[in-house]
Every structure is written in structure tokens, then in C-alpha cells.
Amino acid sequence: MMSSIAEELESIDREARAALAEATEEGQLESWWQQYLGRRGRLTQVLRSLPSLPLEERRQVGARANALKEALQTAYEERRAHLERVRLAREVAQAQLDVSLPGRPLPVGRLHPITQTLRDILACFQSMGFQVVEGPEVEWDYYNFEALLIPKDHPARDMWATLWVDYERDGERPMLLRTHTSPNQVRYMERHQPPIRIVSPGRCYRYEATDPTHEWMLTQVEVLAVDEGISMADLKGTLADFARRIFGAERQVRFRCEYYPFVEPGMDVLIDCFQCRGEGCRTCGYTGWIEILGSGMVHPQILANVGYDPERYTGFAAGLGVERIAMLRHGIDDIRLFYQNDLRFLEQF
Ligand code: DAH
């Protein structure tokens, strides 16, 4: 019994290897595999008969059979790879296949245009010593409005159409989706002492109908510097430098009074139109100037509320819309394009 199974294994070994060396085509390889290693293959049958053998014999024959199975499987794969190389070499030789042609291009992803512009903006401020900090998108009414000197029923609330999460009721604190990144000014000052230089990026939400210049979701960057002796000169120098780094070193910068409840004085920053160089065109609304952000000197009441001495410390703040900056930079005339996920648009950046 023992010798016959052992002999069968040896003849399988010999015959299988000889037959494999003869196989030159896919079909032959396939039937070779069926004949020896397949479900009804010769070697498979030997392996199946093992459990009926006495223990000692089963051990020896089993080890040999399993080793042979692995060896034949490897030989099969090597033969197949060898035939494939031969086939390719033949095709190359017959010039049916030109391996020097470029391969099929793989689609490569890229950063969203808003992410690209956001990173440029942050890098600009970081190089001036500002640190990046983030805050929550779901915010208390307190930080979004109250702490920024916009009390309940104050007309300035109309500047920000709000998406509410929870109205005020039963003494619960009202909660909302932040309408701007300005709440991070207060959040940061509550936990830190001057000197402060931060930029705070993030998404903001507004209860607004969309049109070419309005989205219900937008990205802002808040800027805040508080220290002894910070003046309008620091505000102007910092923001003018920012504007020139993003829109070109030759930009003219203008500051125009504007009301924001949390700064005094408040102002918008404008640059001369890079499209028409001040002549007047669609981009600048025929004024020659383009508004790029809001800013001002931090209201002394806000400094006092977070426990700073407003006689000792002063600061400036600014807030800018990343979509607006990206639109101006790339000449995009509809903000809604950013979030429609149309590759024909996104692949241009
Ligand atoms: N938070 C304002 C807005 O969303 C923008 C702004 C204006 C931010 C003036 C500031 C600032 O920090 O000083 O419209």
C-alpha cells in the first residue's frame, strides 16, 4: 500500500513536470492544471485518500504529497509567467506592441480651488507671525452676536441672516450656525493673554437665497492682533501687505469707513481693480475699486469684557471671504460654481 502511493506520487511528479514543459498555450496550461491539481486531478485524489492510511504512513506520504502540491503549483505559475514573457517578446519583435509608447493616463486628484486659496491666505499671515486656530461651526448666539456687541433686537443682526439650531426658550441658550468667524476672536481672547496674533479659518452659514454672489455656505478667515500699542498703522500695513501678496505687488490699497458693531472705527479694505487698472469694468462694478475684506480696531468694550485693560491693550481685526478672493483671483463670476462638484469647472484649477 505504502509503496504504491509513494510510487504514484513519484510518477505524478515526473509526468506532470514533463507535461508542463510541453504546454505552450493557455488551453494546454488550463487542462494540465485540471489534470493534476484540479478537483479531480491525480494529486488531489492522492491527498483525498490520505485519511484512510495508518498514522505513520499518513504522516510521511502526506508531507510528500503536500510538498509536491506546492512545488507543482509554483512550477505552473512560473511556466505561465515564462510563456507570457515569450509572448510579449514576440509581439515586440513583430512590432505589434510598442512598449515605448506612453501608458494610459491615470486621473489624478487635486485640491479644491477654495482650499488652494485658503492655504495661500493662511500662509501669507503665518509668514507674518500669525497662528492658525479654529472654532466650532455650531455656535452659541452669545459668541456669534452678544459678545460681539450685537444684542438681541439690535438692527445690526440684519447684517447676518441666521440659520438657527435652537431658539431661545425656557432659559436655554439659543444656538445657531455661525454666520461669520468673528466669534473666534472672543473665544480665543477668553483663554489667552496678549500678545495675540491669530488667523481663524472656517465655514460659515447664512439663511440666504443663492445668486451669483451669495451662497448659504461660505468660507471665512478671521484675523486678530491684540497687544500693547497696536494702532491703525499696524492694521493698514498688515492688510495692505496681504492684499499685495495675493493680488500683485503693484496694488493700490484704500480704506473706507464701514460699520461693524465689534470694531471702532470699522473699515472696508479695497484694492484698485486689476482688470481695468481703475478705468471701470464689470469686475469692479465700474468704480475702479474692489472690496476685499472688512476690518477695524477691536472695540474697547470687547477687550474689557474678556478681562483685558483697554487702556493698556489695543487690537485690530479683519474678516475676509475666501470664495470672494478666489473669484477675484481666477475671474470666476458665479460663487455657486464652487459647490456644484462639476469636474469641468474644478479641473481648471
Ligand atoms: N464678520 C464680518 C462679516 O462677516 C466681517 C468682519 C468685518 C470681520 C470687520 C472683522 C471685522 O473682524 O473687523 O461680515
CB 217 within 8 A of CB 339: yes
* DSSP designation for 51: G
Is pLDDT of 268 > 80?
yes
pLDDT at res. 277 = 83
Best mean pLDDT range from 62-71, 271-280, 302-311: 302-311
pLDDT at res. 168 = 75
pTM of the model: 0.72
Question: Looking at ligand 1, which atom is closest to the CA of residue 296?
Answer: 13
pLDDT, the chain, mean: 93
Q: Give me the DSSP letters along 299-315.
A: PHHHHHHTT--TTTEEE
Is pLDDT of 1 > 50?
no
Whether 330 sits among the annotated catalytic residues: the reply is no
pLDDT at res. 107 = 86
pLDDT at res. 6 = 87
Cβ of residue 318 lying under 6 Å from some atom of ligand 1: yes
Residue 162 binned pLDDT confidence (cut-offs 50, 70, 90) = very high
**CATH fourth-level superfamily of 113-346:** Bira Bifunctional Protein; Domain 2 (3.30.930.10)
Residue 3 binned pLDDT confidence (cut-offs 50, 70, 90) = low
Annotated catalytic residue, options 32, 33, 140, 160 = 160
Take atom 13 of ligand 1 and give the residue whose Cα is closest.
295
Q: Is 139 helix (H, G, I), strand (E, B) or coil?
A: strand
Best mean pLDDT range from 84-93, 128-137, 166-175: 128-137
Residues of the chain above pLDDT 90, percent: 79
Which residue out of 182, 219, 256, 262 has the highest number of ligand 1 atoms within 8 Å of its CB and is therefore the one to mutate?
182
* pLDDT tens digit sequence for 95-118: 878 888 898 889 889 999 999 999
Q: Is 319 helix (H, G, I), strand (E, B) or coil?
A: strand
In sequence order, which residues have a C-beta less than 8 Å from that of residue 42 and are 6 or more positions away? 8, 12, 16, 35, 36
Annotated catalytic residue, options 61, 243, 263, 269 = 263
Extract the C-alpha cell encoding 250: 503693484
Is pLDDT of 2 > 60?
no
Question: Looking at ligand 1, which atom is closest to the CA of residue 262?
Answer: 13
Question: Looking at ligand 1, which atom is closest to the CA of residue 182?
Answer: 1
Is pLDDT of 16 > 80?
yes
Q: Give me the DSSP letters along 214-278.
A: B-SEEEEEEEEEEEET--HHHHHHHHHHHHHHHH-TT--EEEEE---TTEEEEEEEEEE-TTTTT
Annotated catalytic residue, options 178, 180, 197, 324 = 180
Nearest to 129 by CA among 28, 264, 230, 5: 230
Nearest to 160 by CA among 101, 220, 119: 220
Mean pLDDT along residues 217-231: 98
Domain parsing of the chain, residue ranges: 2-95, 113-346
If you measure from the C-alpha of residue 143 to the centroid of ligand 1, how many angstroms do you get, rounded to a whole number? Answer: 14
If you measure from the C-alpha of residue 255 to the centroid of ligand 1, how many angstroms do you get, rounded to a whole number? Answer: 14
Mean pLDDT along residues 140-156: 94
Cβ of residue 260 lying under 6 Å from some atom of ligand 1: yes
The number of beta carbons lying within 10 Å of the beta carbon of residue 302 is 23
If you measure from the C-alpha of residue 328 to the centroid of ligand 1, how many angstroms do you get, rounded to a whole number? Answer: 19
Mean pLDDT along residues 202-217: 95
* pLDDT tens digit sequence for 278-297: 888 888 889 999 999 999 99
Question: Looking at ligand 1, which atom is closest to the CA of residue 185?
Answer: 12
Mean pLDDT along residues 124-128: 98
Take atom 8 of ligand 1 and give the residue whose Cα is closest.
319
Bigger pLDDT: 253 vs 3: 253
pLDDT at res. 226 = 98
Whether 131 sits among the annotated catalytic residues: the reply is no
**CA 198 – CA 300 distance, rounded (Å):** 18
Is pLDDT of 298 > 80?
yes
Extract the C-alpha cell encoding 118: 485658503
pLDDT at res. 167 = 83
Bigger pLDDT: 97 vs 144: 144
pLDDT at res. 283 = 83
pLDDT at res. 110 = 92
